[in-house]
């Protein structure tokens, strides 16, 4: 049995399904986002208690989750840059997947707790300082809108950055809802509007966070990244010159921006040249966003593979 292993890695711009890598300066943006949100949490808690507003406290809770979530995402960015070791042979890029999963779960837990508080307040409305709520929440719209803008450019190509963007965008939405609630309270005196607005906004956040949760969860289970059509990948490999069959085709996420592929190619005539395999790796990167490619060629399927096929 003759085997030929070929590895092709390109570390400039990995992506899922052709998405580009997030900009390298996102570490600074994470630091700025953490600092701004931490300061604003203190401000909202103080005025939320003074104004007796559960919606404003809900906004503070979301901002606290933002500060913690951004901290986790920032740590993942730093760890992902570390070089592979003898134990972590792929490096620590997988921490970005864990960070995205943590952000999704943590945000849903916070939303659940705040919704429960709002439901209790809804049954027994309490006076709310509408003007104070509006002013503080309006500041929150500006802050969270700015932070969301910081991460918007990388939210499509990096699930970890997308998690940060979702946190910021959701809090901007919460702040907008709180402003609307404060205005209605000033105009009508309906204090039940405050918890009602909190509940509605929390539902919207859950809907928006669900895709982040499912995306990070499937990545952690080594599922094929969204946007990659395995049938097309298989067809591409089978169309390579000299390939009669293939087996053990696997595609999975190394991180929120890097995708890997490994496959055994059956080539009965002769093994391909290095140029052919490198060209195949370049095509997989260009058309499917797969940057780490490992191809093994053999003249016939291995006995272990044939035994597996017969036992199925």
Residue pLDDT, tens place only, 119-141: 887 877 767 667 777 888 888 88
Q: What percent of the chain has pLDDT over 70?
A: 82
CA 223/CA 217 separation, integer angstroms: 9
Q: pTM here?
A: 0.66
Using the predicted structure, report yes or no on whether residue 268 has a pLDDT greater than 70. Answer: yes
DSSP 156-180: TT-HHHHHHHHHHHHHHHHHHHHHH
In the 8-state DSSP scheme, what is residue 229? Answer: -
Band the pLDDT of 154: cuts 50, 70, 90: low
Using the predicted structure, report yes or no on whether residue 28 has a pLDDT greater than 80. Answer: no
In the 8-state DSSP scheme, what is residue 74? Answer: H
Using the predicted structure, report yes or no on whether residue 309 has a pLDDT greater than 60. Answer: no
The predicted-structure confidence for 47-93, as pLDDT tens digits, reads as follows 878 877 766 776 676 677 677 777 777 777 777 778 888 888 778 87
Using the predicted structure, report yes or no on whether residue 114 has a pLDDT greater than 50. Answer: yes
The predicted-structure confidence for 188-223, as pLDDT tens digits, reads as follows 888 788 788 778 777 877 877 787 788 888 888 888
The predicted-structure confidence for 296-308, as pLDDT tens digits, reads as follows 888 876 554 443 4
Band the pLDDT of 252: cuts 50, 70, 90: very high
Using the predicted structure, report yes or no on whether residue 109 has a pLDDT greater than 80. Answer: yes
Looking at residues 38-51, what average pLDDT do you find?
Answer: 83
pLDDT at residue 302, rounded to an integer: 58
CA 224/CA 37 separation, integer angstroms: 34
pLDDT at residue 160, rounded to an integer: 67
134: Cβ–Cβ under 8 A, 6 or more apart, which residues? 178, 179, 182, 183, 186
Token readout for 21 is 């890598």
- Strand-pair partners of 252: 260
pLDDT at residue 159, rounded to an integer: 65
- Strand-pair partners of 246: 265
pLDDT at residue 11, rounded to an integer: 38
DSSP 112-138: HHHHHHHHHHHHS-----HHHHHHHHH
Q: What percent of the chain has pLDDT over 90?
A: 6
CA 309/CA 305 separation, integer angstroms: 6
pLDDT at residue 26, rounded to an integer: 66
Strands (E), the chain: 3-9, 245-253, 259-266, 292-298
Strands (E), 53-129: none
pLDDT top residue among 8 and 12: 8
The predicted-structure confidence for 216-244, as pLDDT tens digits, reads as follows 888 888 888 878 899 999 999 998 888 88
pLDDT top residue among 168 and 63: 168
């Amino acid at each position: 049995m003759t085997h030929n292993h070929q590895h092709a890695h390109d570390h400039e711009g990995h992506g899922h399904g052709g998405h580009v890598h997030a900009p390298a300066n996102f570490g600074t943006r994470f630091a700025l986002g953490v600092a701004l949100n931490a300061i604003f949490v203190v401000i909202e808690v103080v005025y939320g208690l003074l104004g007796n507003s559960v919606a404003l406290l809900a906004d503070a809770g979301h901002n606290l989750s933002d500060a913690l979530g951004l901290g986790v995402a920032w740590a993942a960015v730093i760890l992902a840059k570390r070089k592979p070791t003898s134990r972590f042979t792929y490096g620590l890029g997988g921490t970005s997947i864990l960070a995205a999963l943590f952000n999704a779960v943590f945000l849903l837990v916070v939303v659940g707790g705040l919704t429960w508080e709002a439901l209790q307040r809804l049954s027994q409305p309490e006076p709310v300082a509408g003007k104070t709520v509006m002013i503080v929440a309006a500041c929150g719209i500006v802050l969270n809108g700015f932070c969301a803008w910081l991460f918007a450019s990388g939210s499509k190509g990096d699930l970890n950055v997308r998690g940060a963007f979702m946190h910021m965008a959701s809090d901007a939405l919460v702040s907008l809802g709180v402003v609307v609630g404060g205005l209605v309270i000033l105009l009508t005196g309906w204090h039940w509007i405050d918890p009602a607005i909190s509940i509605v906004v929390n539902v919207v956040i859950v809907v928006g966070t669900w895709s982040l949760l499912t995306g990070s969860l499937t990545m952690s289970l080594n599922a094929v990244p969204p946007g990659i059509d395995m049938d097309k990948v298989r067809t591409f490999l089978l169309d390579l010159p000299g390939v009669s069959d293939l087996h053990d085709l696997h595609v999975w996420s190394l991180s929120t921006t890097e995708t890997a592929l490994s496959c055994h190619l059956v080539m009965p005539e002769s093994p391909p040249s290095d140029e052919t395999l490198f060209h195949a790796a370049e095509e997989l990167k260009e058309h499917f966003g797969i940057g780490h490619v490992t191809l093994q060629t053999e003249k016939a399927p291995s006995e272990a593979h044939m035994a597996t096929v017969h036992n199925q």
